[in-house]
Amino acid sequence: MAGINNKINSFFKLIVTKVIFNSPVRLTRSGWGKVMRNMIGSLFVVDVRKLLSEQTLEGKEFTKIVSAVRIGRAWRYTEQSRHSEADEIIQEVLTGDNKIILDVGASDGQASVELINKLKNRLKIYYLTDICFDVDIMVKKNKFYFFYPDSKKCFMVISNRFTFYRDPGSFLNPLKIFSMFALCQKYDEKKTRRINLLNPDIVKLSEDNNKIRIIEWDLFDKWEEHSPDLIKVANVLNRAYFKKKDIKKGLNNFMRILKEGGFLLLHDNKHESKWSLFEKKNSVLYLRKNRNGGSEIEKLVYESGDR
């Protein structure tokens, strides 16, 4: 009986992930009443338009707002001390000085601040990366259109009641029709304003610490900087965002990038903290240790590379 209940719970969790978490249409929290928010709270997202406020946002408030930004299928959700367990492991295995860390999918950088401060003199370079740190915003008829600066493609629209996302997933989702229609807006350079999605805390820290390098980088692209001693991948390379073949492609890329003798840390903590630590020896990744069964993509590491 318990086994059946577990299967039912897993099924409903999958439905929530597919239908709500990856939905191309969500409700803008500020446009609805308290009763509605209490009834279907999981459908709501924070009003990202607050980023345009003239009032200076503090680190935690900034992170809360940025969490509603979705670029591709990856949410910018993070928070201070979210990776505390992963950070402890990094401090344990990363002995010596002049170490290079590659932080993949760092979101607004808030979760990286604590680790950088703890490592201090051990660091040579800390690469803080994500696919996009700057976005262009255009306001038209009380709607806020978010564009990629390079491609000029609209990826998010916010109205008083709805937030629409560009969903690269299945066309079978009926809500995708509404999001595609909402996103059909041409880029007008004269009407756009560029904003930065980096948390004020990491911006200030990077101004005082020249070891921090902030780089826009897609984890599937070639890495042209120094090879890292450790690659930290937290809550980004997972099955909710990517297909199996894409995850394996990303893992192969990390294998090529990582120094011989270096470490790859895969960390998931959407529900509970799970992580897997691999060490590169003779161009092969070997599991050193894990927690709570390891990362959800731990087994895919064994299917990647020359094993």
Cβ within 8 Å of residue 50, ≥6 positions away: 57, 65
Residue 155 and residue 148 in contact, taking contact as beta carbons nearer than 8 Å = yes
Positive or negative CA dihedral for 144, 215, 198, 24?
positive
Q: What is the pLDDT of residue 155?
A: 95
Q: What is the pLDDT of residue 299?
A: 93
Q: Are strands 263-268 and 230-234 parallel, antiparallel or unpaired?
A: parallel
Q: What is the pLDDT of residue 35?
A: 79
- When pLDDT is averaged across residues 77-82 and rounded to a whole number, the result is 76
pTM of the full structure: 0.88
| pLDDT band with cut points at 50, 70 and 90 for residue 69 | very high
Residue 108 and residue 76 in contact, taking contact as beta carbons nearer than 8 Å = yes
- When pLDDT is averaged across residues 5-22 and rounded to a whole number, the result is 55
C-alpha 283, offset from chain centre: 27
Q: What is the pLDDT of residue 292?
A: 92
Q: Which residues pair with 21 in a beta bridge?
A: none
C-alpha 139, offset from chain centre: 26
Q: Cα separation of 268 and 292, whole Å?
A: 10
From 86, 127, 115, select the one nearest 235 (Cα to Cα). 86
**pLDDT digit string (tens) for 157-207?**
999 999 999 876 655 577 788 888 899 999 999 999 999 999 999 999 999
Please say if the pLDDT value at position 7 is more than 60: no
Measured from the Cβ of residue 234, the count of other Cβ atoms closer than 10 Å reads: 25
Into which CATH architecture does domain 84-132+197-302 fall?
3-Layer(aba) Sandwich (3.40)
Tokens 């928070």: give the residue.
Answer: 79
Positive or negative CA dihedral for 199, 202, 205, 210?
negative
Q: Where in the chain is the domain with CATH 3.40.50.150?
A: 84-132+197-302
- Of 22 and 291, the structure prediction assigns the larger pLDDT to 291
Widest distance between CA atoms in the chain:
63
Please say if the pLDDT value at position 40 is more than 90: no
Residue 194 and residue 135 in contact, taking contact as beta carbons nearer than 8 Å = yes
Q: Cα separation of 233 and 185, whole Å?
A: 34
Please say if the pLDDT value at position 218 is more than 70: yes
- Of 83 and 30, the structure prediction assigns the larger pLDDT to 30
Q: What is the pLDDT of residue 71?
A: 87
